[in-house]
Amino acid sequence: LDQIGPMTQNVEDAAILYDIISGHDEKDSTSAHKNDKVCDKLNSNRKLKIAVLPKHIQNANEDVKKAYDLAIAALKNAGHEIVERELMDAKFDISAYYITATAEATTNLARYDGIRYGNRVVGKDLNDTFVQTRSQGFGDEVKRRILLGNFVLSSGYYEAYYVKAQKTRHLIKDQYSKIFQEVDLILSPVAPTTANKFGELSTPMEMYLSDLYTISVNLAGLPAISIPVAKSRDNMPIGLQLIANAYEEQTLFDGALSLEKEIGYNN
Band (pLDDT 50/70/90 cuts) for residue 1 is confident
Phi-psi group of 105: left, alpha or beta (phi > 0 → left; psi -120 to 50 → alpha; rest → beta): alpha
pLDDT of 95 > 90? The answer is no
DSSP H helices, 78-188, are 90-109, 126-137, 140-153, 164-180
How do the domains of the chain map onto residue ranges? Answer: 32-85+182-267, 90-164
At residue 152, the 3 state secondary structure works out as helix
Q: Which residue has the higher pLDDT, 36 or 75?
A: 75
Note the pLDDT tens digit of each residue in 166-211.
999 999 999 999 999 999 999 999 999 898 888 777 677 777 778 8
What pTM does this model have? 0.88
Query: What is the band of 265 on the pLDDT scale with cuts at 50, 70, 90?
Result: low
Alpha-carbon span 32 to 35, nearest angstrom:
8
Please say whether the beta carbons of 86 and 175 come within 8 A. Answer: no
CATH number of 32-85+182-267: 3.90.1300.10
pLDDT(37) > 80: yes
For the cut 80, the answer to whether the pLDDT of residue 83 exceeds it is yes
Residue 187: is it exposed, middle or buried by C-beta count within 10 angstroms (0-12/13-18/19+)? buried
Beta strands 81-84 and 49-52, pairing class? parallel
| CA 185/CA 240 separation, integer angstroms | 13
pLDDT at residue 136, as a whole number: 86
